[in-house]
Structure 1
Amino acid sequence: MGTKVSPGTISNLNKKAYEHIETWRTRPLSGDYPYVYVDGVYLKRNWGR
Structure 2
Amino acid sequence: MFSHVKSVGCIFSLLSQLSNFGLVGKLTSVFAVFWTPIRGREKFRELPH
TM-score by length of 2: 0.44
TM-score by length of 1: 0.44
Is the radius of gyration larger for structure 1 or structure 2? 1
